[in-house]
Amino acid sequence: MGNFIFHGCDTTELAREFGTPLYVVSEDEITDRIRTVKSCFDEKYERCRTHFASKAFLTRDMLRILMDEGLGLDVVSGGELYLARRMNFPVERIAFHGNSKTVREISEGLEYGVGKFVCDSLGEISLIDEMARAHDVRANILIRVNPGVEGNTHRHMLTSGGRTKFGLSPEAVKNAMPACMKMANVSISGFHFHVGSQLMDASAHLAAVDVLLELIREARSEVGFEAWILDMGGGFGVPYTASDRPIPIEGFIGAMVKRAEEFCALNGIKRPDLIIEPGRYIVGPSGITLYTVCSVKEVPGVTLYAGVDGGYPDNPRPALYEAVYDAVVANKYGEPADRKVTIAGKCCESGDIVIRDIALPPVERGDVIAVLCTGAYNYSMANNYNKTPIPAIVAIKDGCPRISVRRQTYAELYACDPPPDSKAPSVQAV
**Residues that bind ligand LLP in the complex, under the rule CB under 6 A:** 53, 56, 74, 97, 157, 159, 194, 197-198, 233-236, 277-281, 317, 321, 376-377
Residue nearer to ligand LLP on the CB measure, 181 or 320? 320
Query: How many residues are recorded in the chain?
Result: 430
| Residue 280 CB, nearest approach to ligand LLP (Å) | 4
- 48 in active site: no
Cα–Cα distance, 217 to 298 (Å, whole number): 63
Residue nearer to ligand LLP on the CB measure, 170 or 401? 170
Residue nearer to ligand LLP on the CB measure, 99 or 187? 99
Q: Give yes or no for a contact between 318 and 350, defined as CB atoms under 8 angstroms apart.
A: no
Residue nearer to ligand LLP on the CB measure, 20 or 198? 198
| Residue 154 CB, nearest approach to ligand LLP (Å) | 8
- 147: exposed, middle or buried (Cβ count in 10 Å: 0-12, 13-18, 19+): buried
Cα–Cα distance, 115 to 133 (Å, whole number): 17
| Residue 355 CB, nearest approach to ligand LLP (Å) | 16
Residue nearer to ligand LLP on the CB measure, 170 or 316? 316
Cα torsion angle, 36, 37, 40, 44, sign: negative
Catalytic residue, chosen from 48, 264, 294, 348, is 348
β partners of residue 236: 199
| Residue 236 CB, nearest approach to ligand LLP (Å) | 6
Residue nearer to ligand LLP on the CB measure, 180 or 195? 195
| Residue 67 CB, nearest approach to ligand LLP (Å) | 19
| Residue 76 CB, nearest approach to ligand LLP (Å) | 7
Catalytic positions, written as ranges = 348
